[in-house]
Structure formats: structure tokens, C-alpha cells
Amino acid sequence: MKLKKSEIIDRFSAMIRFKTVSHPDRRGTDRDVFIAFRNWLKEAYPDLFSYGEALAVGDYGLLIRIPGKSGNEPAVLMAHYDVVGADPEGWSADPFGAERRDGRIYGRGTLDTKCTLCSILEAVSYHIRNGFVPEHDIWLSFGGEEEVCGETCSAIVSFLGEKGVRPSFVLDEGGAVIPEGVPGYRHQVAMIGAAEKGEVNFLLTCREGNGGHASVPPKTTVIGRLAKAAVAIEKHPFPGRLSTPVKAMFRHLSGEVPFYEKPVFMFPEILEKPLVSAASILGGSFNAMVRSTAAVTVISSTGGAFNVLPGEAAMGVNVRLLEGDTVASAEKRLRRLIRDPSIRIEVMTGDDPSPTADTDCGAYRKLTEVIRRVWPGTPSVPYQMNGGTDARFYRVLTDRIYRFTPMIMTEAERRTVHGADESISEENLLTMIRFYIELMAVL
């Protein structure tokens, strides 16, 4: 039995039309749409739901066991079906219309990450229709709260833990096949997230009296004090260094570069200092690769009028933690930088960096071999992701967690994730399905 492109695109388009938008304030989320979406999946993939054992976890989670020949060494394939909201302003198509144009499908979630969900379901259905039974159990772990850091995935992991399921392979969204390559290797490369940075949100509050009239101001207002703190944060970036996944990234490329470059790729620590300085100058993602970063993202005050002195002002700082830094060490550092006793510093949410996945094992090699088959000549490299994924919850069950979205993603496409005109090429979608078909055959 073959894949039928038009049917696949119809099903994928239907997924995009469900407005499964996660709101940071849970009360704004339309739970019924999520339930309708899960119910619709059963109609759209009847073979999968009759062969597999599906279980709804909480309001948003869906866990499906695809029985293999053995229950040992199971694999977990992950995706999330919630999306961030979309302001139609700036879009050239309805964000929830799944419009097809020039070989692409437009809509929120086409890249992040209903494409993954759809490809996994299509691939599993394909194998079931063809009577193929995987060697080991495959668990499909789908969450509906990834974009708001909800509890779904954590609940799924607890459930699996209690059942004694110990995955030998977990694959979630993450890196992709990048045509532009990485610093030092400007060729197409598959980026596999082997670790993710931690994240902590600090709230800085400054309160002084009850405000007053702006015609008789003090020397520094509460906003001025916070502004000084913001400048101190920006003036003192975290120290740079090459972390384990970054060193692994270079090492895994050493087989691909000319012989005279090999030593540097094998032992990137030789060039740690110049690499870190170059990253500081270049900024952007290269800079974020070699250090923890801090960004002042929110500022507000109680004043509310040009002629009113605010009694209180608050500022939000988002910090992404590199391996070696922790929520506690970042807090200590912030307190050292901001020596103003009138500013209160609180940790609102905090998550330490993930451990680095094993990239020297059969599970990782299987993944890279499938990548080479689907994109011939494309080497794979582990790297450390700046953003977080639901995969981090699996760290209590295994150290073989990989974050890779099996598609070619250009820089321009990456910018549309969470932005306007998010869209996927039909070719990419079909290749993703092929990837999961090939992967399932070796799991």
C-alpha cells in the first residue's frame, strides 16, 4: 500500500484548521477544540487507533502504545498539537485556513509542530496497513500544552514511569536539516538537539513611597533604578565557554572537513578563547551557543500618566542557562550585579539546563543513519538548543533524548515559527513521513 498525497494533505489541512491555541492564561484556552481534535484523530486514523492502545492523559495529552514484537527497549515519538496564537495582521493567508499556494500549505502549526504529529500518524498508519510490526513497542506521546509549559507531558512521563517503561530512544521536535550549515562548516547539516538550555524568569520590583507629582521629582525614580539594573545586566554578559554538546558538535563534524582542519574539530577546546570572542562580536545564535544569556523583556509601572511619579515599577528578565549554570547560580549573579537594596529580586519560574544526551550509542547512530538515507550526504551533529521542548520531562526515564524535526528548514522558514506566514512545503511534509517510516523500521 502506498502513500496517497492528496489524502495526506487533506488530513494535515484539517489539523491546521483546528484552532488548538494554548493561552498562557489557561482560562483563555478553548478546551473543547482540543477534545474535538483528539476525537477527530480517531476518525482520521482508524487503523492506528484500532491496532494501538490509546489513552487520554488529562485534558490535553494523548498517549498511544503501538505494540511491537517486544515490550523491552521501547521508543517514544513525541509531538505537540497545541500552537501559539496568530494575529492575522501580517499574514498573506488565513492563519487557520490551511491555504495551498505554490506547493506550500499556510497556517499556524504547519512547522511547529502539527507537521511532526501528522507525519508520525501517517507513518504508523502506513506500517499498520502493510502489516509491519516494529521490533519494540513504540509509544506516541502527544501533548497539548507545550507552548505554555503545561503539565501534560510531565503527567505522561509519570504514567510511563509508574508502568516501568524505560525508553531507549526518545525523539521530539527540535533541530532540523539546515542548508546553511554551522560556524566552520557551511554545508547542509542535520542538527540534533542533544541538550537544551535551562530557563529562569526573574521579576525585579522597585518600590519607593507612594509616588507623587512629576513636577517635584526625586533624583532617581523607581523606573530610573530599574533602568540602571537593566544596563548592568546588558553590560555584563555571562562568561563564554564551549559546553559538552557544542564540543560534540565540532567533533562529529571532524570526519567531514579537510585534513588540515581536523585537529581543531577534534579538539575545539584549543580554540575556545577565539571562538568565544568571535561569538561575542557576531552575537545572535552563535553567541547564545557559548554562554548563558539574559534579556530584559518586560517593564511596567504604576504611574500611568506623564505627570505622575510611579510608586512601584517592575521588570522581567528572561535568562537561558548554559550547561554549568543553574537557576541558583544565575540568581546569585544577578544579586551581585544589582547592588540596589530597593530592588527586590524574585525567581518566578526556573528550570536548570538538561543533561546532554548520549551521542555515542546505537540509538543515536540509528537516527543519524536514517537521516543519511533520507538526505544523502548530510552529516548529523548534536547541538544544544536555546529553546525548551517537552522532551526535557523524559530526563527521569532515559538519557537518550533527541530533539530533531525531520525536515529541511531554511533560515527564512525558521523566522516564521511563532510569526506570520508560517508554512510548510508539501515536499517537506512528504519527506517527513518518509523519515518516520524509515525510522520505525529500525526502532
Which range binds Zn ion by CB under 5 A, 71-79, 105-113, 318-326, 399-407? 105-113
Least separation in angstroms between residue 87's CB and Zn ion is 18
Of the pair 112, 323, the CB lying nearest Zn ion is at 112
Residue nearer to Zn ion on the CB measure, 204 or 429: 429
By the rule CB under 5 A, 172 interacts with Zn ion: no
Sort 322 into a burial class: Cβ within 10 Å, 0-12 / 13-18 / 19+. buried
Nearest to Zn ion of 82, 122 (CB atom): 82
Stretch that binds Zn ion, among 41-49, 106-114, 263-271, 376-384 (CB under 5 A): 106-114
CB of 424 to Zn ion, least distance (A): 13
Burial class (CB in 10 A: 0-12, 13-18, 19+), 354: buried
Q: Across-strand partners of 205? A: 314, 344
CB burial string 79-100: b at 16+ within 10 A, e below: bbbbbbebeeeebebebbbbbe
Q: How far is the CB of 30 from Zn ion (least distance, A)?
A: 19
Q: Looking up cell 500544552, which residue turns up?
A: 145
b/e map 210-219, b = 16+ CB within 10 Å: ebbeeeeeee
Pick from 112, 137, 199, 413: which binds Zn ion (CB under 5 A)?
112
Which position's Cβ is nearest Zn ion? 112
Q: What is the size of the binding site for Zn ion (CB under 5 A)?
A: 2
| Number of other residues whose CB lies within 10 A of the CB of residue 347 | 15
CA dist 421 and 102 (Å) reads 13
Q: Which is nearer to Zn ion, 135 or 351 (CB)?
A: 351
Subset of 177-236 contacting Zn ion (CB under 5 A) = none
Measured from the CB atom, the residue of 81 and 202 that comes closer to Zn ion is: 81
**String marking each residue 48-77 x if it binds Zn ion according to CB under 5 A:** ------------------------------
At its nearest, how many Å lie between Zn ion and the CB of residue 80? Answer: 6
Query: Are 37 and 101 spatial neighbours (Cβ–Cβ below 8 Å)?
Result: no
* Least gap, CB of 60 to Zn ion (angstroms): 14
Which residue of 20, 29, 110, 113 would you call a contact of Zn ion, by CB under 5 A?
Answer: 113
Contact 207, 343 (CB under 8 A): no
The identity of residue 132, as a single letter, is: F
Nearer to Zn ion, 113 or 398 (CB): 113
Q: Which stretch binds Zn ion (CB under 5 A): 104-112, 221-229, 350-358, 390-398?
A: 104-112
Three-state SS across 337-368? HCCCCCEEEEEEEEECCCCCCCCCCHHHHHHH
Cβ nearer to Zn ion, comparing 352 with 390 = 390
CA end-to-end span of the chain: 21
Q: Give, in degrees to the nearest 5, the angle at Cα 270 between 268 and 273.
A: 95
Piece of the chain touching Zn ion by CB under 5 A; list 81-89, 108-116, 192-200, 303-311? 108-116
CA–CA dist 98, 424 (Å, integer):
10
In angstroms, give the least distance from the CB of 333 to Zn ion: 29
User: In the range 303-322, which residues lie near Zn ion by CB under 5 A?
Assistant: none
Binding site for Zn ion (CB under 5 A): 112-113
